[in-house]
Amino acid sequence: MLPVTRVPEVTIRDDAIRLGQFLKLAGLADDGGEAKAMIEDGEVTVNGRAETRRGRQLRDGDVVAHAGRSVRLVARDGAHDAGAARPPRPAS
């Protein structure tokens, strides 16, 4: 029997996030420029398929991989988890 490898998870508070943003949040890219280059060069996969759209919406359970590292997205709409990311809300 093969050993089970656990994929690290990154939790967000909303139900979706763009691929470029997720790469930075998950630590797979240092900044937006690096994320853009990785995606444009076809180096990033989502659920095992190459993805070249930086604005691709990721949802709960999607697995993003680059250079042998994989990270699973966990979306918890309205969650109060420590470390969970949420874009700032516009001021009223």
What is the Cα–Cα distance from 8 to 83, expressed in whole angstroms? 14
Per-residue pLDDT of 3-44, as tens digits, reads 667 889 999 999 999 999 999 999 999 999 999 999 999 999
What is the Cα–Cα distance from 59 to 47, expressed in whole angstroms? 11
Per-residue pLDDT of 63-87, as tens digits, reads 999 999 999 999 986 444 444 454 4
Q: What is the DSSP string of 10-36?
A: EEESSSEEEHHHHHHHTTS-SSHHHHH
Q: Is the pTM of this model over 0.85?
A: no
**Structural domain boundaries in the chain:** 10-75
Topology of domain 10-75, per CATH? 3.10.290
